[in-house]
Amino acid sequence: MAEPLLSVRDLRTYFYTENGVARSVDGVSFAIGGGETVGLVGESGCGKSVTALSLLRLVRAPGRIEPGSRIEFGGKDLVTLDEKSMRAIRGASISMVFQEPMTALNPVFKIGDQIAEVVRVHHGGTRQEAWHRAVQMLETVGIPSPAQRANEYPHQLSGGMRQRVVIAMALVMNPALVIADEPTTALDVTIQAQILELLRELQQKFGTSILLITHDLGVVAESVSRVIVMYGGEIVEEALVNDLFANAHHPYTEGLLNAMPHVGQERERLATIPGTVPPPTAWPAGCRFHDRCPYAWDRCIAEHPPLYQIADGHVSRCHLAVEPERRADRHEPFVVQKAIA
C-alpha cells in the first residue's frame, strides 16, 4: 500500500466512569488503502464500535480520545482538527452506515428530504437540484420507483429498504471512506445478502474504501480483503482474509472460528471459549486473553505481548509467535481451572 487513505496510530479512547476508567480502545493502529474493504471483527465489548465512533470523533463524554492518538486522513489529523472542519468531513469524505436503520433515519422527514439535506449541507445548490440528486441516489441503491419513494417516510419502508436509504445517504457525497457498523445485523439473511451485494457493487462503481465492522465471520469471509480482529480494546490479529481463515494464529481468532456452527459441518460438539469478555475497566494483566486461552503459560500472565509479525502482512499479539512449541501444550484455561479449584 503506497499511501494509505486513513492511518490510525495508537488510538486510545477511554471512558471516565464511576466504576473507573474504561479503556475501551487501547492503542489501536491500522491503515486503510484507497478502494480497500477492511473487516473489523470482535465480540461485544471488544472496542470495535468505539473505534468506529472515534474515527468520526463522535465519542461523547465521559468518553474521550486520549492525547497522543492520531487519525490521519487526507493529510490532516482528525484528532486535533477543529469542530467546523470535522463537520465538513463527516458525511462528505467519511460517512457512516449504522446497524439500526430505523434509528439512523428521522421518522418525521421524507426520505428524499433527508438525503437532499446531506447534499445541501455539503454541496449547496438549490432544493430542486438536491432533491433530484436524492432521487438519483435512491435509484442507484436499487429502490424501485425512486421518484415516488422519495416522498415516503421511514416507517413506510421495510427494514431492507430503510438500510438502502441509509446507504444512499452515506454515499450521496461520494465519500472516500464509508464506515459500516454491523450494517446487516438487524436484517434477515436473504436481505443481508442483497445489502452486501449492493455494497460490493457500489464500491466497485465509486471506488469507495469500506471499513466493515461485524461480529459475523461469514460476512467477513465474503466481503472483505483484509481482517482486523479485536479483543480487550486491542488488535490481536490482522491478516489478509484468506490467510486469516487458513492460518489463524491468535488463540482467540482460532477459538472464534471453531465456535461457529457452519452449514454443512459435521454435527460434532462445538468448541467454546470458556469464560466471558472481561470488562474494559479491568483488562487482565499480561495478555488480556490469558485466562481464557488454552495455551497460556506464565509468560502470558507476566508480559503483555506485542504484535508479532507472523508472515507478510500477518501480525498476531501472542507469545506463541516466539515460542511456537507451546502450541502442543493445550490445557484447560485458567478461568476453568480457577472455577474447579
Partner 1 sequence: MTATDLRPASPQPLLSVRGLVKHFPIKKGIFGKSSGAVRAVDGVSFDVMPGETLGLVGESGCGKSTTGRMILRLIEPTAGSVEFEGIDLVTLSTSQMRKLRRKIQVIFQDPFSSLNPRMTVGAIIREGLTIHKIAEGAQADARVRQLLDEVGLRAEYVSRYPHEFSGGQRQRIGIARALAVEPTFIVCDEPVSALDVSVQAQVINLMQDLQRDRGLAYLFIAHDLSVVEHIADRVAVMYLGKIVELATADDLYREPLMPYTQALLSAVPVADPTHKKSRVMLSGDVPSPANPPSGCVFHPRCQHPAKDAACSAIVPPLEEKAPGHWVACIKQPPTGVEWSVQRAAGGTKEPTRYLPVIAVEQSHPSSSSF
Query: Could you list the residues that contact partner 1 (CB under 8 A)?
Result: 43-44, 158-161, 188-194, 196-197, 215-222, 241-242, 245-248, 253-267, 269-274, 276-277, 327, 339
Residues in the chain: 341
Residue with Cβ nearer partner 1 (1 or 270): 270
Taking the complex as a whole, the smallest distance from the CB of residue 270 to partner 1 amounts, in Å, to 4
Taking the complex as a whole, the smallest distance from the CB of residue 279 to partner 1 amounts, in Å, to 10
Residue with Cβ nearer partner 1 (175 or 278): 278
Cis peptide before 280 (omega within 30 of 0): no
Q: Hey, is 220 helix, strand or coil? A: helix
Long-range (24+ apart) CB contacts under 8 A made by 124-133 are: 133/172
Taking the complex as a whole, the smallest distance from the CB of residue 14 to partner 1 amounts, in Å, to 22
Number of H helices, E strands in the chain: 13, 13
Residue with Cβ nearer partner 1 (92 or 165): 165
Residue with Cβ nearer partner 1 (133 or 288): 288
Taking the complex as a whole, the smallest distance from the CB of residue 27 to partner 1 amounts, in Å, to 23
Measured in Å, how far apart are the chain's first and last C-alpha atoms?
50
Q: At what angle do helices 111-123 and 159-171 cross, to 10 degrees?
A: 10
Taking the complex as a whole, the smallest distance from the CB of residue 289 to partner 1 amounts, in Å, to 11
Residue with Cβ nearer partner 1 (175 or 294): 294
d(CA 329, CA 341): 20
Burial category of 64 from C-beta neighbours within 10 Å (exposed 0-12, middle 13-18, buried 19 and up): middle
Its sign, for the CA torsion 206, 161, 108, 96, is negative
Residue with Cβ nearer partner 1 (44 or 128): 44
